[in-house]
Amino acid sequence: MHRRALLWTAAGAALAGCANAANGANDPVPAPQPDPAPIVTPLPDAFDLALYRTLAAPGGNQFVSPYSILSAFTLLYPGARGQTAAEMASTFGFDANVAAQIVQTSALRNALAAQTGGSEFTTANAAWVERTMALSAAYARTIREELSATIEAVPFIANQSAALRTINAW
């Protein structure tokens, strides 16, 4: 009797195992899929926090874009040298390697543009320089090609008010 019960139990277990196989329980586990791109939410860095603290008005509201300021100074950074470059790196938290900083800034811009939730994200950046100033070809190429900005020459020295009107009309 015990032998018969044992056989029926074994047969039931075997059938149950076959049923699970038919239902796909033994199918290979699919390969894990990469997580979707993370939403760009950079943590406030020292520059962002210092900027907000400096501009904060007690009891008031404020709006400022650290990204816009970062973008503007990233246009200057490839041309900075020595102490100026060191101070920019320290103030803005820029990478000491200018090429690496440009890659980081471009990656941030592209990530922001990709995660707009259906809205359009555009930037308009220009390096405004004195018209009599000679720029290196490498700097101009970096601004135009790697940072997707323009270089505009205006008469800061000869006619400051005309230069300001041109910039404000841009």
Q: How many CB atoms lie within 10 A of CB 130?
A: 13
Question: Which strand (E) or helix (H) includes residue 164?
Answer: helix 160-169
Please report whether residue 4 resides in a domain: no
Please report whether residue 89 resides in a domain: yes
What beta strand segments (E) does the chain contain?
Answer: 126-130, 150-154
| pLDDT at residue number 20 | 44
Same domain, 100 and 169: no
Query: Domain limits at 146?
Result: 124-170
Q: Are 128 and 150 in contact (CB under 8 A)?
A: no
Same domain, 47 and 84: yes
Same domain, 118 and 72: yes
pTM of the model: 0.65
Side chain identity at residue 135, one-letter code: L
Query: In the chain, how many domains are there?
Result: 2
Q: Is the pLDDT of residue 44 over 50?
A: no
Same domain, 47 and 108: yes
User: What tens digit of pLDDT does each residue of 112-125 get?
Assistant: 888 878 888 888 89
Grouping H, G, I as helix, E, B as strand and the rest as coil, residue 75 is helix
Please report whether residue 107 resides in a domain: yes
